[in-house]
Amino acid sequence: MRRVEPLYRKVNTLARGVRHQSGGEARWQRNTKAEKAETDAGLTLGKMAQGVRRGLDYTPLFRFLLSKVGQDWDAVQAEAIARLDRPDPIYWLVARTEEARQPVVWLGESSRYSGLCIDDQNRLQRVDPTLTINDLEPTCACCTHTFNGQRLTRPYRPPE
């Protein structure tokens, strides 16, 4: 029996420069008058976050979904859910409603992907199939900006 690879991978969280968004900052906020006022007003939960998922990269899922454009959505969705730890990341790219459709979806500060949707024939389609890497510009000069895993070709132009 062939083992099916998952559509996510674990990121090396011990590498230099990997930020975990955790630390002693919570203790500086905890049990202060301002925090208690926010909790009473319903603005915060008043406790540290539980169940935060860190160290997972869903790039294989995004490549999988882009490779399945034009195929039956029910089959694609069933295969993707079977190979994921949770179904939520599928809908980061695939719009559930007409209003949620976007031609470009930002995932991270420099990674962009084609927005996907389900058409009337229940097929997975791109929201804007004409969009290419030549149409998009980087937003800063310091990062490597990508679109569907390919580096953008246009140079960064600072605002005037």
The whole-number pLDDT of residue 8 equals 87
Domain range annotation of the chain: 56-151
Residue 2 or 138, more confident: 138
Least confident interval from 43-52, 79-88, 115-124, 149-158: 43-52
Rounded to two decimals, what is the model's pTM?
Answer: 0.74
127 pLDDT more than 70: yes
What value does the mean pLDDT take over residues 9-31?
63
On the CB side of 140, CA atoms within 13 Å amount to 6
63 pLDDT more than 60: yes
What value does the mean pLDDT take over residues 77-96?
94
What value does the mean pLDDT take over residues 109-119?
94
What value does the mean pLDDT take over residues 52-81?
91
What value does the mean pLDDT take over residues 108-113?
90
DSSP strand E in the chain: where?
A: 9-10, 56-57, 104-106, 111-114, 116-118, 124-126, 146-147, 150-151
